[in-house]
Amino acid sequence: MNTIKNQMRPVFPFTAIVGQEEMKLALILNVIDPKIGGVMIMGDRGTGKSTTIRAIADLLPEIEVVSDDFFNSHISDYDLMSDFVKTQIENSVDVATHLIKVPMVDLPLGATEDRLCGTIDIEKALNEGVKSFDPGLLAKANRGILYVDEVNLLDDHLVDILLDAAASGWNTVEREGISIRHPSRFVLVGSGNPEEGELRPQLLDRFGMHAEIRTVRDASLRVEIVEQRSKFDQDPYGCIQEFTDKQNELKESILDAQNRLSNVTIDYDLKVKISQICGVLNVDGLRGDIVTNRAARAFASYQGKNDVNIDDVKQIITLCLRHRLRKDPLDTIDSGTKVSQVVNDILV
């Protein structure tokens, strides 16, 4: 119990969250394979979006990072390592490491580009000839989760920067002829309320998955949610203790899925059917095909399998495609019925 109480702030257990299966699955699959491209969660107010996102970050096992490094650099993976650490390793310098919780970075609505990307101290560079970089939120989010609440209210150019960094895994800051590049691989999670406006279709398309959240209408389920929250508010550490076994079980499942992922295969005929569905739905570009393939492999891995089957694709394809059907910014996002109809016709 003492180790639990040593946490800075108690976080609602992920396995204690009632309902909202679509959102929970999308988050788990993105954690298993961050290359899926993040998740956009749109739904009513007060449906537990922020609670669930913080809960998934708290659930994840600690990661090993290089000490005295701004970017949470990995000790052996070059794609997750800053240039400074690469140089040290190439010169056979002993590099110290320590364990940290998976970073969970909140992007405030009023954030500036400098706060997001980081800034270069030009004066120091000119006077002392030293590249002095003040890291931004993209540096802190490397190997973690970057959460943007009310992403539909964020400036479009900041959303573009975020999505570019999420897609490439790198952030580049250039100023007055000085350029600094650092790893920035994170799971991008955006949330918002449709009543406050939608994202442009071009930006929506860049999110790997789109989860729709609806207010629970069933009275008994609403009571269960309220009671669960009240129990946590009255005795957070007791509630965390109660769900320790379930949390550890899910943590192990995610770790196993991450380790198995590279061995999961998807049959050529099934890939053809996925692309056929995207073609019939008139999905622009190939992002929908790529994300669906990745998500299906992550889902199969999560189920403990090495091969993707039709049922795996059916479970995730709506999450991957529903937000790619909008052609007109004034259209509303299809709830998934159109995707389901085409999927049921082709995947038989």
- Residues with catalytic annotation? 287
29-32 long-range contacts (CB < 8 A, ≥24 apart) are 29/209, 29/295, 29/298, 29/299, 29/302, 29/316, 30/187, 30/189, 30/208, 30/209, 31/56, 31/60, 31/187, 31/254, 32/254, 32/257, 32/258, 32/261, 32/298, 32/301, 32/302
Q: Within a 10 A sphere around the Cβ of 69, how many other Cβ atoms?
A: 21
- Which residues lie below 8 Å from residue 69, measured CB to CB, with a gap of 6+? 82, 84, 85
Closest alpha carbon to 299 in 229, 235, 238, 209 = 209
Q: What is the rounded CA–CA span in Å between residue 66 and residue 76? A: 10
Q: What is the DSSP string of 101-145?
A: PPPEEE--TT--HHHHHEEE-HHHHHHH----EEE-HHHHTTTSE
**In angstroms, how far apart are the furthest CA atoms of the chain?**
68
Q: What is the rounded CA–CA span in Å between residue 280 and residue 347? A: 13
Tokens of 222: 């609403």
Contact 44, 215 (CB under 8 A): yes
3-state secondary structure of 308: strand
Closest alpha carbon to 105 in 150, 143, 144, 50 = 144
Q: What is the rounded CA–CA span in Å between residue 275 and residue 347? A: 11
Rg (CA), the chain: 21
